[in-house]
Amino acid sequence: MARYSANKDEKQVRLNFQLFSSDNALLVADLLNFNKGSLRHARLATLATIGLLTERRVVGGELIANDCRDRDTPAGPDPPPLTDEELESVQ
């Protein structure tokens, strides 16, 4: 759930932004299922974490690897692996 303050010496990022359905209809539709507030924040944080894990091939690695091999263009450089701190934060 959303917190209103960081722990001592904890890094934090504050965001205030707008999403438009013309730019990302699927994400906007999903987030509109939740009332404004902590549940919507938690859902967005969950989706962002899943996206990062998928991008780094921690989740669904075999599926992503197969998808990259099937493309006509090179997949590009692999994203860096998770650090121990990042890995602990998602477990």
Provide the greatest CA pair distance for the chain. Answer: 49
Q: What span, in angstroms and rounded, lies between the C-alpha atoms of 31 and 15?
A: 16
pTM, rounded to two decimals: 0.56
- Amino acid code (one letter) for 27: L
- Burial pattern 55-84, b for ≥16 Cβ within 10 A else e, equals ebbbeeeeeeeeeeeeeeeeeeeeeeebee
Which of residues 80 and 2 earns the better pLDDT score?
Answer: 80
Q: What is the pLDDT of residues 54-90, one digit of tens each?
A: 887 766 555 555 555 555 555 566 667 777 777 776 6
Instruction: Cite the DSSP H helix spans in 6-83.
Output: 25-31, 38-55, 61-70
